[in-house]
Amino acid sequence: MHLLDGYRGKNIHLSDLLNAMGPRGFGFVYILFGMLAGALPTGLCSVMAVPILLFSAQQALGRHRPTMPKRFDGKQFSADAVQTGIQSKEKWLLRLERFAKPRWHLLTGTTVNRIAAVCCFILASVILLPGPFTNVPPGIAIALFGFAMVERDGLLMLISFIAGIIGFIVGLSAVIATALLIGRWIAQSGGLPGA
């Protein structure tokens, strides 16, 4: 919970955040960035979706450890804002840690994890879309996938797939509803300026 204590009051790069995690693998990446994507304001949550896209693609392609290419590491953000986002989910994290444990090993293998990585990629794409509820449900599902991988919990992995489907449907529905509302507003306003 004190991942960024050494960065207080500073702006950091995504690579700084990755280095602070240590050699914990993709599961920890999904826990952290999925949780932050669901907890931070809209602008920052979109930033958190970028590393999820990158790392889930790496895992889906068979990489064993997440790496941050320099060309994707230009964006800086507040370490304090990230730490606040983590702390806001502390109780939820502790409850999930008590639930998760090694079991149902058939659903914790490399192939299932790579399929889960594809799901995380799709959910991160939803987080990037504008609209309400496009970040929280997908972010929760991504964090659940991370816990399932870290704890080798097949039951939690199954729950994560269900949560992922729900998160995708809710997020996409929010985008469609937002688009329809904007379209209706434009229609009632007499169309776009200059049309």
- Let me know if residue 117 belongs to a domain: yes
Q: 51 in a domain, yes or no?
A: yes
DSSP string, 131-166: STTSSHHHHHHHHHHHHHHHHTBHHHHHHHHHHHHH
Residues 116 and 152: beta-carbon distance below 8 Å: no
Examine residue 18 and state whether it is found in any structural domain, yes or no. Answer: yes
Condensed to tens digits (0 to 9), the pLDDT of residues 124-170 reads: 998 888 767 778 889 899 999 999 998 899 999 999 999 999 999 99
Residue 195 falls inside a structural domain: no
Range of the domain at 59: 5-188
Residues 92 and 38: their CA atoms lie apart, in Å, by 12
| Residue appearing with tokens 């979109």 | 46
* pLDDT tens digits, one per residue of 2-36: 556 666 777 777 777 766 665 557 888 898 888 88
Burial of residue 163 (number of CB atoms within 10 Å: 0-12, 13-18, 19+): buried
- Quick count: other Cβ atoms within 10 Å of Cβ 51? 25
Name beta bridge partners: 161: none
194 found inside a domain? no
Total domains in the fold of the chain: 1
Confirm if 121 and 52 have CB atoms less than 8 A apart.
yes
What would the pLDDT profile of 62-91 be if each residue is shown by its tens digit? 887 787 777 766 667 777 776 676 666 667
Is 193 part of any domain? no
